[in-house]
Amino acid sequence: MATEDTGRRDTGKPMTIDEWVETFGQLARLPFAMAAFGMDLFGQTARRFLDQTAPLNARVDQTTPTPLPPTSPAPAVTPPQPRPSATPARAAHEDEKSQTFGQEDPKTKSSGIPSGVAPNNPKEESMADKNLSDDMLKLVSYSIVCIERGNEKVLLCNACELFADNMTDCDFDSWVIASYCEKHRVRCDRKYLRVAYEVLGRWEKPDLQFEVKQLERLEDISDAIRDGNKKNKITKSGD
């Protein structure tokens, strides 16, 4: 029959402080006791396994290794024998050829090209000048083609014209296409027109008033010479 006070034993007396301390101490030692029991059980199992495998290890150690088969010696290499049908002159030629084999020909040492082989020096193609972004006077050669599928054709080929404006590639393409379409009837959509061009030459633009300024400078020089002559005449007459 259960008692009303949970802190009382079946005897009906309450637990003392020492009994509570002993109870908590047993609970605290319980994990360590279980760990020690597990280690003891593992050690017994390991010893039993070693005792069972010891005879098998002893039998393996007593077995003799299988000897390896002996290796056969490498076959001797016999030097090539000269052919009996070779004449003395041919033998001398072959001997000279074998002595010069592997030597570098002084004629080909500097150029690196074997003798008897013509050097292959293709002409390096210079890159086409396509720079239009300056204020110089430019001679430009251009062509216009249509790349429409099924309607591919050349509309204008190698037309030359002078340009003095500073423009980009897109500006030049747009100007050339627009100028061509204004003068010709084009049966092709403008989006399929392409321009290929190259700058053939460029020069500095002369001053627009260059000739006028040059004449003015010559007139100034002429006036100065006249004034100098007049002064000389006046000086001489006064003397």
What's the pTM value of the predicted model, to 2 decimals? 0.38
* 199 within some domain: yes
Cα–Cα dist 168/132, whole Å:
6
- What are the beta bridge partners of residue 153? 146
Express each pLDDT in 43-70 by its tens digit. 888 888 888 777 766 666 665 556 666 6
pLDDT tens string 156-203: 999 999 999 999 999 999 999 999 999 998 888 999 999 999 999 999
Query: 44 in a domain, yes or no?
Result: no
Would residue 34 count as lying in a domain? no
Residue 184 belongs to some domain of the structure: yes
pLDDT grade, residue 82 (50/70/90)? low
In a domain, 92, yes or no: no
Quote the tokens at residue 186: 């084009």
Range of the structural domain that residue 164 is part of: 137-203
Q: Please report whether residue 155 resides in a domain.
A: yes
Report how far residue 161's alpha carbon sits from residue 198's, in angstroms, rounded to the nearest whole number: 11
Please check whether residue 52 lies inside any domain of the structure.
no
* 48 inside domain: no
Provide the number of structural domains found in the chain.
1
